[in-house]
């Protein structure tokens, strides 16, 4: 079966390549802060965007001594193309300092649930006190048991995309 992000969206790619490409399928939810108790092993993340075009985003992320450059395509439902590459920490810091106008900072907590894993982000700075939970899925049809701390789904609400939070921080919403 060919995924919805195929020839109609990216028609120049061959069918063989499409079957092997990186497709992120992710649902996103608000978190009830009163019901969420973060584990002790959160990781600080600092990230910025080199491109925030509607059809693509290019992100630089640092967490600890690791850094990545990530290219994401336009979301179609809960799916989009995603390609992520490790880069030297020093280069990531230069990119963040010199080419990324808006920086997002957050603490990420990983919470396993069976074969899946929730990522709960506690945003800092201009996006505090926002808490978002994401879960990556093997297919858009995968059923997910929602923990009690999960609130409203915001998967298709672009205000909650990290790239948009960099442009329009949570604290500026009315």
* pLDDT tens profile 68-105: 999 999 988 889 999 999 999 999 999 999 999 999 99
Domain extents for the chain? 25-172
Q: Active-site residue among 49, 109, 160, 170?
A: 49
| Alpha helix positions (H), the chain | 15-20, 89-99, 162-167
Specify the pLDDT at position 6.
Answer: 44
Rounded to two decimals, the pTM is: 0.85
Structure tokens at 129: 């006190």
Tell me if residue 44 is catalytic: no
Is 161 a residue whose pLDDT tops 50?
Answer: yes
**Binning pLDDT at 50, 70 and 90, where does residue 45 land?**
very high
- Please name the residues in contact with 162: beta carbons below 8 A apart, sequence gap of 6 or more: 47, 59, 104
Q: Which CATH class is domain 25-172?
A: mainly beta
């Amino acid at each position: 079966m060919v995924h919805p992000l195929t020839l109609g969206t990216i028609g120049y790619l061959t069918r063989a390549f499409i079957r092997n490409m990186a497709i992120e399928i992710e649902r996103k939810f608000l978190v009830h802060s009163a019901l969420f108790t973060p584990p002790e092993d959160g990781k600080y993340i600092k990230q910025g965007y080199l491109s925030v075009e509607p059809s693509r985003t290019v992100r630089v992320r640092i967490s600890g001594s690791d850094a990545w450059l990530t290219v994401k395509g336009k979301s179609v439902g809960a799916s989009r193309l995603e390609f992520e590459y490790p880069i030297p920490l020093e280069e990531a810091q230069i990119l963040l300092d010199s080419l990324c106008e808006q920086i997002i900072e957050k603490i990420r907590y990983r919470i396993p649930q069976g074969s899946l894993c929730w990522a709960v982000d506690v945003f800092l700075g201009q996006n505090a006190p926002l808490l978002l939970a994401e879960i990556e899925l093997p297919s858009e049809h995968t059923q997910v048991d929602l923990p009690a701390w999960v609130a409203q789904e915001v998967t298709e609400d672009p205000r909650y995309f990290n790239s948009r939070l960099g442009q329009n921080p949570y604290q500026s919403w009315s």
